Structure 1
Amino acid sequence: MDSTALDLGEDNSLLLVDDDEAFLRRLAKAMEKRGFAVETAGSVAAGQAIATGRPPAYAVVDLRLEDGNGLDVVETLRARRPESRIVVLTGYGAIATAVAAVKIGATDYLAKPADATDVTNALLARTDTLPPPPENPMSADRVRWEHIQRVYELCDRNVSETARRLSMHRRTLQRILAKRSPR
């Protein structure tokens, strides 16, 4: 899909919930160019307030927010507007959370980094069709490297703690961290 406006039907309202302010602004701007009427929230509380007061036709919700779990916003929205199409976005992709998101009513689940085209395709996809595979998927080495980097950051860049959580020898982890990221 290109960045021109799409046929979204009568209700083109879209709620974006993410605590990464820069990402939220970029995605909001890109989705407005595609014809959505965007409203943003930076927390679970703000997302739930909008979902309760003005439940949108579409929503993109980050899974982990500073004040809680984005699935709480999904549940609120699903209760107020059952037909809404909801995509859960997360940097912490795991099968268990994907299953939980879909069970409580998410239409789709995307791992970050996802761009506006990925989000739009997920929001507008019909449930009876599978989405096309990504054009340039990350290599297995890159996925592994990204996961190690994320855990390293979550452990406040503590090599010993990261190695323990990854069940990896500390020296092995240090060698991986010293290398450039794979393509």
Structure 2
Amino acid sequence: MGDFLSDNPLVLLIGACEVGFWVLLAAGLAARYLLRAHRLSTVLLLLVPVLDVVLVSASLVDVAGGSPPGLTHGLAAVYLGGTVAFGHSMIRWADARFAHRFAAGPTPPRPPRYGAAKVAYEWREWSKAALAWGIAFGVMLLTATVAGTGVPQPLDWSADPMWGWGSRITVGLLIWFVGWPLWTTLAPPRAPETTDVNG
């Protein structure tokens, strides 16, 4: 494990960015709701996207320096796509719970479970995943361009260290599409009928 990490420093950077995301998020919300330091809170939360810039820059510098695009570069692209697409939602989710716990805010709403609201929710969440997919592919394409390796044929993706991630996230996106937004659209769950005890 130690040899793998020493040979793949981007893995350490990805881990550091993940830890940094939650540290900055917690610090920003603590500053807002515990210290009432709204300006400091804003600065801390605005630093969250900086981690994404650091990660993609390090990945591109690595391949520009002669490293062939590999497993960790693909992982960095997927991680970046996920944080950009879902980061705002995660911040909003944490903010609502901080506000409820420390500032007498309203109870955080739960995701809808039935009807048209449930269908819209599933499509909205899947669209974030589709955005993450697009960003990841864009970053992998940029990495391949900087490295001068080009894009392999789609049938060869699974055998390519970096583009293998393209195969994985494409399969995951399709499974998500069929299992959630499509299925919910075709068979939207209905709220259980209530029995009128007075009738």
Q: Which has the higher contact order (CA 8 A, sep 6+)?
A: 2
Relative to its length, the structure with more strand (as a share) is 1
Is the TM-score greater than 0.5?
no
* TM-score for the superposition, normalised by structure 2: 0.28
Relative to its length, the structure with more helix (as a share) is 2
Bigger radius of gyration among the two: 2
